[in-house]
Amino acid sequence: MPVPGTDLRVGAAIRGEFPIFETATYLNSCSQGALSHRVREAVEGWLAGWDANGAEWEFWVERNEAFRSSIAALLHARTDDVAVTTSVSQGVSALVSGLPLEGERNRIVISEYEFPTVGQIAHAQELRGAEVVHVTPGEDGSIDADRFAEAIDERTALVCCTTLSYRSGHRHDVTAIAEIAHEAGALVLADSYQACGAVELDVRSLGADAVTGGTVKYLLGTSGLGFLYVRAGLLPKLLPSQTGWFADEDIFRMDISDYSPAADARRFDAGTPPVPNIYAGVAGMSIIEEAGTAAIEEHIASLGARLIDGLEELGAVVPTPRDPARRGPLVTVRSTDVRRLVDQLAAEKIVCSERDSNLRIALHLYNVEEDVDRLLDALRENRSLLA
Ligand SMILES: Cc1ncc(COP(=O)(O)O)c(C=O)c1O
């Protein structure tokens, strides 16, 4: 454990946990976080336990609850307000299945920056009579609360405003959007997959009624594990029809005669927990917990400023806002041939990704200034591939 105040557990202090940095400049945490020794050992521990003891059922259940508690601490929520899911898709589907969406209040408002799964789940509700309204970005690429205000009214049941765009790196003002939605009597879902682990998220001030995310990116775990926070006061009104036995008020009763969901957010759980992913998720999150999201956010903000300064010097087009309050760990830069650019960088052992025509550069606690400078040097050499 670090000595408080002497080792912030970010940057050079934590990099040795992640073998990939021995061979590559890893800037792709928006797709998948880097593998740590700790997560590898946790997954190996799961395999060893399986070998030695077969089904470690009680330990699995305990790990599932440990994960729920870690997410609650991360979000400053109560454990009872957190569901453990296998994906954002599962949690959002369960949540939306519990919305009445009938009568006058049948609209789902979604931002153009939602991840496909949220948009597709919203449109699937058209089968139940829902109407979906899209909120598009302004000329500068941002989607301000005012633009949401134009789309939200007394017909709106749910507003989906992703905390941070996976495409452009824009950060929504979730609190302002939630205020507008609540005035109209609508609920708010903030898909925070691109934010959790990299920025401080506090459900007490965020204002969203539901917050979802998962472990494969900035929480440093694997795919196949997620969470759904739901504000406590809403639970009695939300009865998910997409459900499973782990959502029951008593999973050990093994009763097939009725539907009696848990009183708390466990009603959005589903089937057998994704045990191997939980081992990885709890271990990955422990690295985030030790560093603290406030320190991580600060570290990322300073690397982001250095990166954007360098990109501006190159005369590149940066769709992501400069203001740290309006972005997070993801910085995007426009390319004339982004596939080729990603391949060129990969050939130099710099790992980035792409969406639309933008190169995506994702910064996290393990990145250091040299990573940013190395990337900038490579982009200078490939200047012709930048718009
Ligand atoms: C913002 C956002 N939401 C959701 C997802 C994925 O959701 P799921 O866990 O359903 O695969 C991603 C992953 O790439 C994402 O970036």
Reported as a single tens digit per residue, the pLDDT across 237-277 is 999 999 999 999 999 899 999 999 999 999 999 999 999 99
Q: Tens digits of per-residue pLDDT, 52-84?
A: 999 888 888 999 999 999 999 999 999 999 999
Query: From ligand 1's centre to the CA of 193, what distance in Å?
Result: 6
182 token code pair: 């609540």
| pLDDT at 82 (0 to 100) | 98
305-340: pLDDT as tens digits: 999 999 999 999 999 999 999 999 999 999 999 999
Q: Determine the pLDDT at residue 1.
A: 44
- Please give the average per-residue pLDDT across 205-229, as a whole number: 98
Q: Which residues pair with 159 in a beta bridge?
A: 109, 188
- 3 C-alpha to ligand 1 centroid (Å): 35
Between 275-291 and 37-53, two packed helices, what is the crossing angle to 10 degrees?
150
Q: What is the mean pLDDT of the chain?
A: 96
What pLDDT, on a 0 to 100 scale, did the predictor assign at position 3? 44
Write the single-letter amino acid at 78. Answer: R
Residues in contact with ligand 1 by the CB-under-6-Å rule are: 87-89, 115, 117, 162, 166, 191, 193-194, 214, 226
* In the predicted structure, residue 7 carries a pLDDT above the cut 90: no
- Protein residue closest via CA to atom 14 of ligand 1: 31
Averaged over 16-36, what is the pLDDT?
A: 98
Which pLDDT band holds residue 102 (cuts at 50, 70, 90)?
confident
CA–centroid distance, 189 to ligand 1, in Å, is 14
Q: What is the CB neighbour count within 10 angstroms for residue 344? A: 16
Mutate to test the pocket of ligand 1, among 86, 161, 191 (most ligand atoms within 8 A of CB): 191
Confidence band (pLDDT; 50, 70, 90) for 40? very high
In whole angstroms, how far apart are CA 324 and each of 82, 209, 354, 368, 386? 28, 25, 21, 18, 23
When mean pLDDT is compared across 88-97, 98-107, 202-211, the lowest value belongs to 98-107
Q: Is the pLDDT of residue 6 over 50?
A: no
Are the C-beta atoms of residues 200 and 268 closer than 8 Å to each other?
A: no
The pTM score is 0.97
Among candidate residues 321, 333, 354, the one with its CA nearest the CA of residue 170 = 321
Task: Name the strands in the sheet holding 358-362, side by side, starting at the edge strand that comes first in the sequence.
Answer: 330-334, 358-362, 353-355
Distance, in Å, from the CA atom of 219 to the CA atom of 200, rounded to the nearest integer, reads 12
Summarize the confidence of residues 278-290 as an average pLDDT: 98
The residue whose CA has the least distance to atom 6 of ligand 1 is 88
**Closest among 198, 197, 189 to 229, alpha carbons compared:** 189
Residue 99 CA to ligand 1 center (angstroms) comes to: 21
